[in-house]
Homo-oligomer: A and B are copies of this chain.
Amino acid sequence: MNILVVGSIALDTIETPEHSVDNSPGGSALYFSNAASFFAPVNVVGVVGEDFKLHVIDFGNNRPVNFDGLYTEKGKTFRWGGRYHENPNKRDTLFTHLNVFENFKPDIPAHFRDSDIVFLANIDPELQLQVLNQISDPKLIVTDTMNFWISGKRSALEKVIQNSNILILNDEEIRQLTGKINLRDGAEVILEKGPEVVVIKKGEHGAVLMSKSSYFVAPAYPVQKVVDPTGAGDSFAGGFVGYLAKNENFHDHDLRKAIMYGTVVASYCVEDFSFKRLARLTNEELISRYDSLKEMTAY
């Protein structure tokens, strides 16, 4: 199966205690598609400014990513700046310049509209609805969101959620969205809204997958040297959706394996800046860490 992703494409300025990078390619659509393309073909829709050089997107060899939906508009590319501290779980946003992303209207190319799986990355839910209006009947719709849209665009977001099969969000977001402190209670609220599955990302504490009949807890891989946590959530989603596309089945045991592949890809992503680690990631490494994680949870 193939995947359509609609999301942001950014040039990031990132400071960590040891290094910093400027205008480093990032954004949800790129992190996602990089991760997912280990497993299945990905069609990307997004917007960049005239200052964006396509060759900076270095995903590594022969990844099946189609950039026919990458539009270049007059102006500058979306820019985000962030600073991480000694504890990589905390970051400050230094600036957010939407630039051409401010007027982004996703126009899905005709040959992308029948993609098997659609991933709505974390963008304005009104744009997510525009995407849903342009696609034919996909086999699976997976949606991400964030605090900004939960508070600011609630009713559009509720419509997106109603139409999604799987909602991915972090622990703070599910608390904000549902008003429930207990994550299991929060997931139950969302399962009443439409999605059959909720995935809760807990960063260094792993992830939880919940449906009406199943509850799965996954640990994070204990990365010893986190260089840059940017993109961890989107590469997790990419590994998760990518595995489902490759696997062509969405049963509970498929979803669980998909969570573990998402976990593995995200754990590699944070070992270097931007796409550098994923660009040199091999299938052997992917499988080796998957097996390590399996061993770490066995009893």
Residue pair A215, B222 in contact (C-beta under 8 Å) = yes
**Bound form: Cα–Cα A298–B260 in Å:** 11
Asked whether any CB of chain B lies closer than 8 Å to the CB of A87, the reply is: yes
A216 engages B260 (CB within 8 Å): no
| Closest chain B CB from A215 CB (angstroms) | 5
The answer to whether B299 and A257 touch across the interface, beta carbons within 8 angstroms, is yes
Contact with B along A261-299 (1 / 0, CB 8 A): 000000000000000000000000000000000101111
Smallest CB-CB separation from A252: which chain B residue?
A: B299
Q: Which of B183, B222, B257 contacts A217 (CB 8 A)?
A: B222
Does the CB pair A253–B299 fall under 8 Å? yes
Nearest residue, chain B, Cβ from A202: B205
- The answer to whether A222 touches B184, judged by C-beta atoms less than 8 angstroms apart, is yes
Q: For A216, what are the chain B residues with a Cβ–Cβ distance below 8 Å?
A: 296-297, 299
Does chain B have a CB within 8 A of A18? no
Interface size range of chain A in the complex: 20 to 34
Binary interface encoding of chain A residues 81-118 relative to chain B, with 1 for a CB under 8 A from any of its CBs, else 0: 00000111000000000000000000000000000000
What is the 8 Å Cβ interface bit string for chain A, positions 217-241, against chain B (1 contact, 0 not)?
1110010101000000000000000
A206 on the B face (CB < 8 A): yes
If A205-B202, A219-B217, A219-B219 touch, does A224 touch B298 (CB 8 Å cutoff)?
no
Q: How far is the CB of A295 from chain B (nearest CB, A)?
A: 8
- Given A184-B224, A222-B183; A297-B217 close (CB under 8 Å): yes
Task: Contact check, A182 vs B296: say whether CB atoms are below 8 A apart.
Answer: no
Inter-chain CA distance A280–B286, complex, in Å, is 46
Specify which of B87, B222, B256, B296 is in contact with A299 (CB 8 Å cutoff). B256
Residues of B within 8 A of A226 (CB): 182
Identify the 6 closest CB pairs spanning chains A and B, nearest first: A217-B219, A256-B299, A205-B205, A184-B222, A87-B181, A217-B296
Complex A-B: 22 CB contacts under 8 Å? A86-B181, A87-B181, A88-B181, A182-B222, A182-B226, A184-B224, A185-B224, A205-B205, A215-B222, A215-B296, A216-B296, A216-B299, A217-B219, A217-B297, A218-B297, A218-B299, A219-B219, A253-B299, A256-B299, A257-B299, A294-B299, A297-B297
